[in-house]
Amino acid sequence: MSPTSNYFHLHLVSDSTGETLITVARAVAAQYANVTPVEHVYPLVRSQKQLDRVLSEIEEAPGIVLFTLLEKDLVSKLQSKCQEINIPSLSIIGPVMQLFQAYLGAPTSGRVGAQHVLNAEYFKRIDALNYTMMHDDGQHVEGLEEADVILVGVSRTSKTPTSIYLANRGIRTANVPLVPGIPIPHQLETLTKPLVVSLHATPERLIQVRQNRLLSMGDRDNDTYIDRQSVADEVAYARRLSAKFNWAQLDVTRRSIEETAAAVLKLFADRQRHRLSE
CA dist., res. 7 & res. 35, Å (int): 5
138 is in an annotated binding site: no
153 is in an annotated binding site: yes
Maximum distance among all Cα pairs of the chain, rounded to whole angstroms: 68
94 is in an annotated binding site: no
159 is in an annotated binding site: yes
264 is in an annotated binding site: no
Q: Which long-range contacts (CB under 8 A, 24 or more apart) does 71-75 make?
A: 71/15, 71/46, 71/112, 73/48, 74/15, 74/45, 74/46, 74/48
The DSSP code for 181 is: T
110 contacts 150 by C-beta, under 8 angstroms = no
271 is in an annotated binding site: no
SS3 state at 74: helix
154 is in an annotated binding site: yes
37 contacts 7 by C-beta, under 8 angstroms = yes
Q: How far is CA 152 from CA 61, 147, 178, 222, in A?
A: 47, 13, 6, 23
Task: Find the distance separating the first CA and the last CA of the chain, reported in whole Å.
Answer: 59
43 contacts 16 by C-beta, under 8 angstroms = yes
153 contacts 192 by C-beta, under 8 angstroms = no
Binding residues: 153-160
Q: Which residues are annotated as a binding site for ADP?
A: 153-160
